[in-house]
Amino acid sequence: MKCIICRNDETVQGKTTVTFERNGMTLVIKNVPAWICTNCGEAYVDEEISDRLLKSAETAEYEGVEVEIRNFQAA
């Protein structure tokens, strides 16, 4: 996989933190599996995982969460 930031084509499996901020809600999800660029450190999350993150953010918003830090739950 090629990094779109620095065009380095080496990424390694690792973990990243994803933050959602919308309508006054802040949701931080830690330990999200991602591909990390070995050159610049940019993280790329697979589509399936980012779908799940979006759903978590929607649920948190619906539940009226203001600020929350979670760990990513593997399926």
Where on the chain is the footprint of Zn ion (CB under 5 A)?
3, 5-6, 8, 37, 39-40, 42
User: Least distance from C-beta 48 to Zn ion, angstroms?
Assistant: 22
The CA distance from 75 to 72, in Å, is 9
Amino acid (one-letter) located at 42: E
User: Least distance from C-beta 14 to Zn ion, angstroms?
Assistant: 13
The CA distance from 36 to 68, in Å, is 24
User: Least distance from C-beta 31 to Zn ion, angstroms?
Assistant: 21
Q: Between 26 and 44, whose beta carbon lies closer to Zn ion?
A: 44
Classify 57 as helix, strand or coil. Answer: helix
Q: Between 10 and 58, whose beta carbon lies closer to Zn ion?
A: 10
**Rg, the chain, Cα only:** 14
